[in-house]
Amino acid sequence: METQIPSSHTAIVQHEAGTTKITPALPLPVLAPGQMLVRTAAVALNPCDFKMPRRFPSPGTYNGCDFAGTVVSLTNEVAENGLFKVGDRVFAAVIGNNPHDKDSGAYAEYLKATALYTWKIPDWMSFEEAAGLSGTCIATACMSLFQSLKLPGTFEKPADTPVDVLIWGGSTSVGTTMIQMVKLLGHRAIATCSPKNFDLVKSYGADAVFDYHTPTCSADIKALTRNNLKYIVDPFSDLRTMALADEAMGRVGGRYVALESYQEVALGGKAKLIKRELIMGQMVTGKAIPLTDGYGKPEDPEMGAWGAGCYRSVQRLVNERKLRPHPLRILDGGLEAVLEGLEMLKRKEISGEKIVVRL
């Protein structure tokens, strides 16, 4: 299949002081071994896409992570392993705002994707739905549940004995992804969110949902789990949610996954019994993460090999319709709409939805 590929394209790129601008006439991304060039059809927006430039300004880097599109060219390694071919519809997440790989980013007319960490889109799924599945959320959920919480069971062989897993912020896109995966592993999913999103969270499989605004939230969770809760995921990881999580944790302690950098503070007598860990979706590739403030990670080839295998397991879930995206708010307008969507996220106007933009 022949595809017309231009010599340049347009992308959202960081400029001075972490500002992001639509930038035309850029050279196409340079492919490394094992990568593919993808014509972008849709992108999904994440809070990290506006937080990263603000927190870690790096002029010249491309922005954006989650995408869906069509393969237009590939390196010899990809052609030889047979995972993908030109014309395949694909989705995944790339590592945007990366000072060590500046033209890695999804908010672009063309992007580069690593084949081992990319999925095919089934014929029945649209580009918008695929982008909304969010490679970032999937990778974060897999890293959290398998590598940090170390939950028993696999997607192929669920656990024989279910355990309780608390997902703080269950109505977020990563929350509904976690809930689905916890259930697929054979466990019980407990979530917190605002009452207006109770039905949403239950529709993704949550066994119990609690209002995190109520003063008895943690005590109610502790009562439900009979003071035996051992597994918690917290997307917010501020002092308030950490304290509430500590209160909900069972008497013997357990594992706590943070999706934001957190302060090491003593929150009570139980704190020493809780193993805390920061998880980011991009860790799944095993590549070094060159960031400060607790976000940096060394290279981990074993993790990268595990991640590639995990992606193949997730491909089966997608093919079998066992994973569905967060409710979508679809915007038209290309890269201009991406910038507006990021402003909507900054203003906290979005609740219970995932913004997806058609390019």
Distance CA 29, CA 73 (A): 12
Question: pLDDT category, 292, cuts 50, 70, 90?
Answer: confident
As for how many domains the chain has, the answer is 2
Structural domain ending residue among the three candidates 253, 282, 311 = 282
Per-residue pLDDT at 269 exceeds 70: no
Same domain, 104 and 196: no
Structural domain ending residue among the three candidates 282, 313, 336 = 282
Per-residue pLDDT at 271 exceeds 60: yes
Residue 63 lies in a domain: yes
Question: pLDDT category, 135, cuts 50, 70, 90?
Answer: very high
Same domain, 36 and 154: no
Question: pLDDT category, 273, cuts 50, 70, 90?
Answer: confident
Residue 310 lies in a domain: no
Q: CA angle at residue 274 from 270 to 278, to 5 degrees?
A: 140
Determine the pLDDT at residue 295.
82
Q: Domain residues for 202?
A: 139-282
- As given in the structure block, the two tokens for residue 326 are 């967060």
Mean pLDDT value across the chain: 94
Determine the pLDDT at residue 223.
98
CB 32 within 8 A of CB 100: no
Task: Establish how many alpha carbons lie within 13 A of residue 328's alpha carbon, considering only the half-sphere containing its beta carbon.
Answer: 20
Residue 313 lies in a domain: no
pLDDT tens by residue, 240-265? 898 899 999 999 999 999 998 776 65
Same domain, 181 and 93: no
Same domain, 217 and 344: no
Sequence-distant (6+) residues with CB within 8 A of 275 are 253, 254, 255, 256
Residue 303 lies in a domain: no
Per-residue pLDDT at 175 exceeds 80: yes
pTM of the shown model: 0.95
Same domain, 245 and 265: yes
Q: Mean pLDDT across the stretch 82-97? A: 96
Same domain, 58 and 189: no
Burial of 49 (0-12, 13-18, 19+ CB in 10 A): buried
Same domain, 120 and 143: no
CATH number of 269's domain: 3.40.50.720
Phi, psi of 221 (to 5 degrees): -65, -40
Residue 116 lies in a domain: yes
Same domain, 153 and 277: yes
Distance CA 84, CA 74 (A): 8
Residue 334 lies in a domain: yes
Determine the pLDDT at residue 263.
66
Residue 306 lies in a domain: no
Percent of the chain residues past pLDDT 90, beyond the cut = 86
Same domain, 126 and 144: no
CB 5 within 8 A of CB 74: no
- As given in the structure block, the two tokens for residue 231 are 């597994």
Same domain, 17 and 99: yes
Q: Mean pLDDT across the stretch 67-93? A: 96
As a whole number of Å, the end-to-end CA separation of the chain is 22
Determine the pLDDT at residue 177.
98
Sequence-distant (6+) residues with CB within 8 A of 191 are 166, 167, 168, 169, 170, 171, 175, 179, 201, 206, 208, 209, 210
Determine the pLDDT at residue 266.
52
Q: Is 214 helix (H, G, I), strand (E, B) or coil?
A: coil
Same domain, 334 and 209: no
Same domain, 83 and 173: no
Per-residue pLDDT at 147 exceeds 60: yes
Residue 296 lies in a domain: no
Q: What is the DSSP letter of 52?
A: H
Question: pLDDT category, 298, cuts 50, 70, 90?
Answer: confident
Determine the pLDDT at residue 268.
58
